[in-house]
Amino acid sequence: MVIGVIDGDTIVLEGKTRLRLRGLDAPELNYCLGPEAKTALENLVNNKRVIVKEQIIDQFGRPMGLVYQADTFINLEMLRLGFARFHSDNHSQREFLKKAYDEARIKEIGIFSPLCHQTENPANPKCNIKGNIDKSTDTHLYYLPGCVQYNTAVIEKDIGESWFCTEKEARDSGYTKSSRCP
């Protein structure tokens, strides 16, 4: 029985055991669509009995598993709705999860919609400095118009990337100017 939902990829089972949904990563609650991802997961599992399959412990010591509620594969549903990014690891449903993630990206739904996935700043076009986070190194870089990678850089607000109005604002937020900028 699910007695609570922490965020879009973590549930609390009876006995107060936390369980992460395996094969995905939802936005933190303070990032773009983080609260909506939590609400979607609550609607799918809160106060319902679930079956957990292929449970493992992740590198941080947290239990993870494939979660089913009746005929619904919850991990797949969260990716299909565009409320999470695919996180690769070896399990029997890996290809199904990857396909749902790819389809959400192609359809530009959820975190892949213009609300969270931006090449231009719709809220304030004058604030056009792009603050990107390298997913493999967690390096925070900013790009100004005219930088080599500026036109291909995408702001992914669901992982905490941001727009800045000034270089000082970017630096104060922990970003460093890209070496690819003049």
Domain boundaries, the chain: 2-112, 117-177
Architecture of 2-112 per CATH? Beta Barrel (2.40)
pLDDT at residue number 88: 87
Count H helices and E strands in the chain, helices first.
4, 14
Catalytic annotation present for 62: yes
Under-50 pLDDT residues of the chain: none
∠ Cα 23 18 13 (to 5°): 105
What's the pLDDT score for residue 20?
97
Model pLDDT, residue 182? 86
Q: Determine contact, residues 117/106, Cβ cutoff 8 Å.
A: no
Phi, psi angles (nearest 5°) of residue 156? -110, 90
Assigned token pair, 178: 């890209």
* pLDDT tens-digit map of 55-72: 999 988 999 999 999 999
85 in catalytic set: no
- Catalytic residue, chosen from 28, 42, 54, 108, is 28
H helices within the chain, ranges in order?
34-45, 74-80, 94-107, 167-172
- Is 20 considered catalytic here? yes
